[in-house]
Amino acid sequence: MQSFNPPIRTLMGPGPSDVHPRILSAMARPTIGHLDPAFVGMMDEVKSLLQYAFQTQNQMTMPVSAPGSAGMETCFANLVEPGDKVIVCINGVFGMRMKENVERTGGVCVEVHDAWGTAVSPEKVEAALQANPDAKIVAFVHAETSTGACSDVKAICDIAHQHNCLTIVDAVTSLGGVELRVDDWGVDAIYSGTQKCLSCTPGLSPVSFNERALEKVRNRKTKVQSWFLDLNLVMGYWGQGVKRAYHHTAPINALYALHESLVMLKEEGLENSWARHAAMHEKLKAGLEEMGIKFVVDEAVRLPQLNSVWIPEGVDDAAVRSELLNTYNLEIGAGLGDFAGKVWRIGLMGFSAKESNVLFCLSALRKVLGK
């Protein structure tokens, strides 16, 4: 056994994305205690910076000490009680995971289906709510990572609130990459991940809950089934002020990395980050279309940071991805679920969303397909 030295890759799949050198450097700083006053001060800065990234004033805004899937479970475990009826919008893999969370928390799932590669239909959500007046929550994915489709958060939240429902939104792939305004759009609970458009390492899940959602948590009739993810306990550690109650040993160096990535987002400016992702998508789009490669998602609802494209007829999916990885150290993503073997997912997220990566990807793909 020897020390592990990973190959140097260019990550242009669905995540993780390339990690900025500043963030890797931040992770190498000295580890201090998770209750150290200096660390507690940094925690407050992380919360404030996450509020900026989410565009919210929610006090309950923090990173869960686990990947985006744990952020998802934090929302469902705290907000769904046994017997609660939840409208779950499914237009890809991650809507299906929402359904799984509802069922595991004892909720009753009402499914609203849209075709893979399309956005969630507000009209179908409205119809489901009219048919289920006892529903308590509407859950949907903003940026569906399995397809590259973007749904209308504000429209769906408005409909949910008209029927007195809370909303749970998956923003794992959208945070930092496309417009997202938690307060203005009326999002009640939201979760994301650090390994996509924030250019950070995997392992943390930013979440945010407004007062409407917290009122539901405070008035639960049953205990949250997960001790680790119980917001009533976690906020004793992630609350305000210097004095914090011990809950768990935070991933200290990973939080250094998140802090640095959020500082960089603030330096660039949130709107500038959204614009950069859009601009790089246009460059990638032009090159792919020149090769005759077609996009899965209609341009009106297409994510700039997650580009799903149809694999050309007669092309061996696995062979192309393998050659890109082994010859060019370039990673692009395979299709999931219904799209397995049919599409490639090319990511332009965070530090990966830059012109040199776009040109490199197009050049390598052109050479491999030319064979």
Q: Provide the domain count of the chain.
A: 2
Cis peptide before 7, with omega less than 30 degrees from 0? no
Is position 5 within any domain? no
Clarify whether residues 217 and 299 are in a common domain: no
Q: In the prediction, which pLDDT does 17 show?
A: 96
pLDDT for 245: 83
Last residue of a domain, one of 245, 266, 287: 266
> What pLDDT is recorded for position 134?
98
Q: Are residues 108 and 227 in the same domain?
A: yes
Shared-domain flag, residues 228 and 278: no
pLDDT, residue 246, reads 86
Do residues 256 and 280 share a domain?
no
We report the CATH number of the domain holding residue 59 as 3.40.640.10
For residue 3, is it within any domain? no
> Which pLDDT value is given to residue 329?
98
Domain shared by 119 and 232, yes or no: yes
Q: Are 261 and 321 within one domain?
A: no
Within-domain flag for 203: yes
Q: Are residues 306 and 253 in the same domain?
A: no
Q: How many residues does the chain have?
A: 371
Containing domain of residue 235, as a range?
Answer: 21-266
pLDDT of 242: 56
- 3-state SS track over 121-177: CHHHHHHHHHHCCCCCEEEEECEECCCCEECCHHHHHHHHHHCCCEEEEECCCCCCC
Q: How far, in Å, CA of 246 to CA of 258, rounded?
A: 21
Residues of the chain with pLDDT under 70: 240-243
Amino acid 56: pLDDT: 98
What integer pLDDT is reported at residue 103 of this predicted model?
A: 97
SS3 268: helix
Within a domain: residue 2? no
- Pair 256, 293 in one domain: no
Measured CA to CA, the distance from residue 91 to residue 275 in angstroms comes to: 26
State which of 266, 300, 316 marks the end of a domain. Answer: 266
The pLDDT, as a whole number, for residue 311 is 97
Is there a domain that residue 1 lies in?
Answer: no
| Strand bridging mode 85-90 / 306-310 | unpaired
Pair 183, 277 in one domain: no
pLDDT given at position 112: 98
Residue 158 within a domain: yes
Beta-carbon contacts of 267 under 8 Å, excluding residues fewer than 6 positions away, are none
pLDDT at 120: 98
What local confidence, expressed as pLDDT, does residue 290 receive? Answer: 96
Domain contains 4: no
The H-assigned helical ranges of the chain are: 21-27, 37-54, 68-79, 93-104, 122-131, 153-162, 182-185, 211-218, 231-238, 252-268, 270-290, 317-328, 355-370
Q: Say whether both 199 and 274 belong to one domain.
A: no
Domain stops at, among 213, 241, 266: 266
Task: Give the pLDDT score at 240.
Answer: 66
CATH of the domain at 295: 3.90.1150.10
In a domain, 83, yes or no: yes
Domain identity same for 140 and 184? yes
Q: In terms of domains, do 351 and 218 share one? A: no
Residue tagged 């935070």 (tokens)? 250
